[in-house]
């Protein structure tokens, strides 16, 4: 089986690349695309954050929340397992290459691919709906009968999302290769708005704390239909942009020559990476669900993870998106030291934001959770528990972000085997630590133990990646990434002092209420960030100045 030859820009992100003929206009397009992607990320993550707050307030942190969280996880997990990883690593490059090679700008090829994805995921979604009880049993076999039955009901409404996730991702790729970035970046906002509305509607018609087995048919439908309707609208919202670029929606049944077999071992290792992640995640859900008695540990774990991922999504993903094409182009041209330089630059600059974000999550995690979640059906105990989980997650923010950025470097040099093998270790370490902490910790702290296992696994994974990358990509000069992060860590430790003083001066009862938690966050983070910047300047962390006023597009030009 011959491996496919991928052009330098035939990779996810699809940022326009400068050419010799039009260097200035292409550079401007790159800057505009970077700004647009960053704005879209902030908007989608911001509304997603509000969505989480509204849903949490409406359904609380007990059995209904767990049933909803598990059922809503299933279509995402199955999509990633069946298509998500292959789409980003293999199918998308094929689509981009067809746009470059074919006389019709790859339209027929894209129509054929879109037809294949639609048909395949329609069949899979139908089977998934039929097998919903077995799927939920795999994820939540230890849950109570009423909770598991509610999860099955939710899943039967949620599993059709598989089809719309895949179609939406394929349409987004078609738009991106034609230079359209806005619709795919902003469409999730519509999804979030619809789910926010359904959460508010559920809260209005629910007069008591929701419990599995006690929801009316109307209440269940509001959550179930509303959540899936958001995904459907997110996909439909992309269609006008397809027409705007002149792409015709047409079913193509001549699937021979689609080129999928040429993807070769690269796709196989990517699939292995995805399978490993999903199996590990399945075990984590089982740990959380095994706590039982409607504790809602998995729901609280999910709430905390969403808050934890916000800094990564806004900062690291934007940096990754800006640097990935540059790294791939350098790798294709044989200039692997340039790949290392670009990666080093991204790691250092992202660290300037992610290290102080870690400080805030770790020290102020409980207060953040109280301010965000302690409303409606979320009890003070659940909010506090979510905050403890968030603080544990915060330890892993920088390692997780470093791991994901280094992963792009491996993909840039067309190596998917090494990430797969390293990910086996990461998943194994995560599960071993989770298992040990599950045994030794009390029920109340199981969620914290799961977050600690996650953080520890990515700490080790990031270090393994770093060592292997140094051997794989020799760098002729020093990059100072480790030195920069050590200095950033020193600045964060010193900055933690005024934050701790604030939390100790204000009474515990005051901080246990949402308003008091907000005051604590504002004062603590304010003093802490000022101290961090002053110390960082004092010890000459130059990336502070590089980050200030930096447009996303400049990353590509500064290397």
In degrees rounded to 5, what are phi and psi of residue 104? Answer: -95, 20
Tokens of 2: 């011959």
- Note whether 308 and 397 are within 8 A (CB): yes
Q: In Å, what is the CA distance from 438 to each residue of 287, 288, 305, 396, 446?
A: 7, 9, 18, 19, 6
Q: How far apart are CA 394 and CA 403, in angstroms?
A: 15
Burial 15-33 (b: 16+ CB within 10 A, else e): bbbbeeeeeeebbebbbbb
Question: Angle of helix 132-140 relative to helix 63-79, nearest 10 degrees?
Answer: 110
Give the torsion through C-alpha atoms of 214, 217, 221, 223, to 10 deg: -10
DSSP 12: T
DSSP 62: S
pLDDT tens-digit map of 83-106:
666 666 566 666 766 776 777 878
> Per the domain annotation, does 269 fall within a domain?
no
Burial 347-370 (b: 16+ CB within 10 A, else e): bbbbbbbbbbbbbbbbbbbbbbbb
Find the largest Cα–Cα distance for the chain.
71
Burial 238-269 (b: 16+ CB within 10 A, else e): beebbeeeebeeeebeeeeebbeeebeebbbb
> Per the domain annotation, does 4 fall within a domain?
no
3-class secondary-structure state, position 471: helix
User: Which DSSP string do the residues of 538-558 spell out, in sequence order?
Assistant: HTT-THHHHHTT--TTHHHHH
Q: How far is CA 140 from the centre of its chain?
A: 23
- Each residue's pLDDT, cut to its tens digit, for the chain (559 residues) gives 333 333 333 333 333 333 334 433 333 444 455 566 667 777 888 898 899 999 999 998 788 988 999 999 888 887 776 666 666 656 666 676 677 677 787 888 888 889 988 998 999 999 999 999 999 988 887 778 899 999 999 999 999 999 999 899 889 878 877 777 778 878 899 999 999 999 999 999 997 889 888 899 999 999 999 999 999 999 999 999 999 988 989 998 887 756 666 556 777 788 888 888 888 888 888 888 777 555 568 888 988 998 998 888 877 776 776 676 677 767 767 788 888 888 888 888 888 889 999 999 999 999 999 999 998 888 888 899 999 999 999 999 999 999 988 888 887 787 888 999 999 999 999 999 999 999 998 888 899 999 999 999 999 999 999 899 888 887 766 667 888 888 899 999 999 999 999 999 988 888 889 999 999 999 999 999 999 989 988 887 776 766 654 444 444 443 3
* Count of the separate structural domains present in the chain: 1
- Note whether 265 and 347 are within 8 A (CB): no
> Per the domain annotation, does 36 fall within a domain?
yes
Q: How far apart are CA 54 and CA 109, in angstroms?
A: 42
In degrees rounded to 5, what are phi and psi of residue 496? Answer: -70, -20
Give the structural domain span for 235.
17-263
- Report long-range pairs for 202-205 (Cβ below 8 Å, ≥24 apart): 202/58, 202/59, 202/226, 203/54, 203/57, 203/58, 203/376
> Per the domain annotation, does 96 fall within a domain?
yes
Give the torsion through C-alpha atoms of 409, 412, 416, 417, to 10 deg: -70
> Per the domain annotation, does 537 fall within a domain?
no
pTM: 0.78
DSSP 102: S
> Tell me, what's the pLDDT at 555?
41
> Per the domain annotation, does 223 fall within a domain?
yes
CB atoms within 10 A of CB 549: 7
What are the percentages of helix, strand and coil residues in the chain, rounded to 5? 80, 0, 20
pLDDT tens-digit map of 139-148:
887 778 899 9
> Per the domain annotation, does 396 fall within a domain?
no
> Tell me, what's the pLDDT at 87?
64
> Per the domain annotation, does 378 fall within a domain?
no
- Note whether 352 and 512 are within 8 A (CB): no
């Amino acid at each position: 089986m011959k491996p496919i030859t991928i052009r330098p820009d035939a990779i996810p992100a699809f940022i326009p690349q400068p050419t010799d003929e039009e260097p200035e206009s292409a550079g401007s397009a790159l800057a505009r695309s970077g700004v647009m992607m960053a704005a879209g990320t902030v908007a989608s993550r911001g509304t997603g954050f509000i969505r989480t707050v509204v849903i949490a307030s409406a359904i609380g942190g007990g059995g209904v929340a767990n049933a909803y969280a598990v059922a809503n996880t299933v279509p995402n997990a199955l999509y990633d397992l069946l298509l998500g990883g292959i789409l980003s690593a293999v199918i998308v490059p094929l689509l981009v290459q067809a746009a470059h090679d074919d006389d019709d700008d790859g339209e027929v090829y894209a129509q054929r691919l879109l037809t294949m994805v639609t048909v395949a995921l329609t069949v899979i979604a139908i089977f998934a709906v039929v097998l919903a009880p077995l799927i939920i049993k795999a994820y939540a076999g230890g849950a109570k009968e009423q909770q598991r039955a509610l999860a099955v009901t939710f899943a039967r409404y949620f599993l059709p999302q598989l089809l719309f996730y895949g179609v939406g991702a394929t349409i987004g790729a078609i738009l991106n290769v034609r230079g359209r970035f806005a619709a795919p970046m902003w469409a999730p906002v519509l999804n979030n708005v619809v789910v926010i509305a359904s959460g508010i509607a559920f809260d209005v018609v629910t007069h008591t704390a929701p419990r599995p087995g006690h929801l009316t048919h109307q209440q269940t439908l509001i959550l179930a239909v509303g959540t899936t309707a958001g995904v459907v609208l997110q996909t439909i919202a992309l269609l006008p942009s397809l027409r705007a670029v002149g792409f015709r929606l047409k079913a193509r049944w001549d699937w021979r020559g689609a080129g999928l077999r040429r993807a070769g071992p690269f796709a196989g290792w990517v699939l292995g990476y995805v399978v490993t992640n999903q199996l590990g995640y399945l075990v984590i859900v089982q740990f959380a669900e095994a706590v039982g008695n409607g504790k809602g540990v998995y729901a609280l774990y999910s709430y905390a993870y969403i808050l934890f991922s916000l800094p990564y999504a806004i900062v690291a993903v934007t940096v990754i998106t800006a640097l990935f094409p540059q790294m791939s182009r350098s790798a294709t041209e044989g200039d692997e030291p340039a790949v290392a330089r670009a990666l080093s630059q991204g790691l250092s600059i992202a660290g300037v934001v992610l290290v102080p974000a870690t400080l805030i999550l770790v020290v102020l995690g409980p207060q953040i959770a109280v301010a965000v979640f302690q409303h409606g059906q979320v009890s003070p105990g659940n909010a506090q528990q979510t905050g403890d989980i968030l603080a544990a997650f915060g330890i892993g923010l920088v390692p997780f972000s470093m791991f994901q950025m280094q992963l792009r470097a491996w993909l840039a040099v067309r190596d998917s085997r090494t990430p797969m093998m390293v990910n086996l270790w990461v998943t194994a370490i995560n599960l071993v630590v989770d298992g040990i902490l599950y045994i030794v910790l009390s029920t109340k702290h199981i969620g914290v133990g799961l977050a600690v296992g996650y953080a520890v696994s990515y700490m080790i994974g990031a270090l393994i990646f770093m060592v292997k990358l140094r051997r794989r990509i020799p760098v002729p000069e020093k990059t100072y990434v480790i030195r920069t992060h050590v200095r950033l860590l020193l600045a964060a430790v010193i900055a933690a002092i005024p934050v701790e003083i604030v939390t100790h001066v204000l009474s515990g009862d005051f901080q246990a209420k949402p308003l008091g938690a907000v005051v604590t966050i504002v004062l603590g983070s304010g003093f802490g960030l000022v101290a961090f910047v002053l110390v960082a300047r004092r010890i000459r962390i130059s990336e502070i100045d590089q980050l200030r006023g930096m447009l996303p597009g400049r990353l590509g030009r500064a290397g």
